C-alpha cells in the first residue's frame, strides 16, 4: 500500500488587535490559581475572563431595565492566543460589538496587560428569554448603547 501524501495545513493566524479599537473596558487581575504547570494563565481561565467581560458589557447597570428577563447564550466562541500571559497581574479586557441582529450579536474582545495584547476572541451571542428559552429581541436602547449611538 503506497504511503499517503501529507495534507498541507494552512495557518489561520488571527490578527492581533490594538487597544484603540475597543470601546468598553473591564479591569481584572489574574491569579496564581489561573495558571497551568508552565506558569501561563491557562485557556480555561482566559475563557472565564472573556465571559466576565461579556456579562459586564451586556448586563451593565445602565441596561438593567432593558436586560431583565434576558439570558445571554454563547453560540460560538473563537479564541486566539498571541503571547504567554503570566500571573498574578493586572489586566484589562476590551470589548466591542461588531454586529447586532434581531436577537443576536457579535462581540470582539481582547485581553491586554499594559499595551500588549495576549489573547483575543470573537463571540456570537444570542439573547434568550429567561422563561421562554426562545430568542429575545435586542431592544433599541440596548442596540444604541452597544453601538455607541445613544
Give pLDDT tens digits for 48-86.
999 999 999 999 999 999 999 999 999 999 999 999 999
Residue 149: predicted pLDDT: 82
| 122: confidence class by pLDDT, cuts 50, 70, 90 | very high
- Residue 14's pLDDT is 75
Query: What is the predicted pLDDT for the residue at 119?
Result: 97
Q: Give the residue among 111, 104, 113 at the shortest CA–CA distance from 76.
A: 104
76 Cβ neighbours under 8 A, 6+ residues apart: 122, 123, 124
**What's the rounded Cα separation, in Å, for the pair 52 and 137?**
22
pLDDT for res 148:
87
> For the segment 7-17, what is each residue's pLDDT rounded down to a tens digit?
564 556 778 99
Yes or no: say if 7 and 100 are a contact pair by the CB < 8 Å rule.
Answer: no
In the predicted structure, residue 145 carries a pLDDT above the cut 90: yes
Give tens-digit pLDDT for 15-35. 899 999 999 999 999 999 999
What pLDDT is stored for residue 134 in this prediction?
97
Report residue 55 as a C-alpha cell.
Answer: 456579562
| DSSP codes of every residue in 88-131 | SEEEEEEEEEEEE-SSEEEEEEEEEETTEEEEEEEEEEEEEETT
Mean pLDDT for all residues in the chain: 92
Q: In this model, does residue 4 exceed pLDDT 80? A: no
CA atoms of 128 and 103, how far apart (whole Å): 8
Q: How many CA atoms lie within 13 A of 13 on its CB side?
A: 5
Q: Taking 70 as the threshold, does the pLDDT of residue 6 lie above it?
A: no
Burial of 109 per CB tally in 10 Å (0-12, 13-18, 19+): buried
**Cell 429575545 -> residue:** 136
Amino acid at each position: 500500500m503506497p504511503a499517503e501524501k501529507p495534507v498541507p495545513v494552512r495557518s489561520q493566524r488571527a490578527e492581533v488587535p490594538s487597544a484603540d479599537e475597543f470601546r468598553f473596558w473591564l479591569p481584572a487581575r489574574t491569579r496564581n490559581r489561573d495558571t497551568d504547570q508552565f506558569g501561563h494563565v491557562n485557556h480555561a481561565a482566559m475563557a472565564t475572563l472573556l465571559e466576565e467581560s461579556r456579562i459586564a458589557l451586556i448586563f451593565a447597570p445602565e441596561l438593567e431595565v432593558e436586560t431583565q428577563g434576558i439570558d445571554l447564550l454563547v453560540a460560538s466562541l473563537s479564541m486566539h492566543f498571541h503571547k504567554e500571559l503570566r500571573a498574578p497581574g493586572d489586566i484589562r479586557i476590551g470589548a466591542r460589538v461588531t454586529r447586532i441582529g434581531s436577537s443576536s450579536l457579535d462581540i470582539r474582545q481582547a485581553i491586554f496587560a499594559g499595551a500588549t495584547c495576549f489573547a483575543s476572541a470573537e463571540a456570537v451571542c444570542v439573547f434568550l428569554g429567561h422563561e421562554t428559552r426562545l430568542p429575545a429581541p435586542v431592544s433599541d436602547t440596548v442596540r444604541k448603547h452597544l453601538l455607541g449611538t445613544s
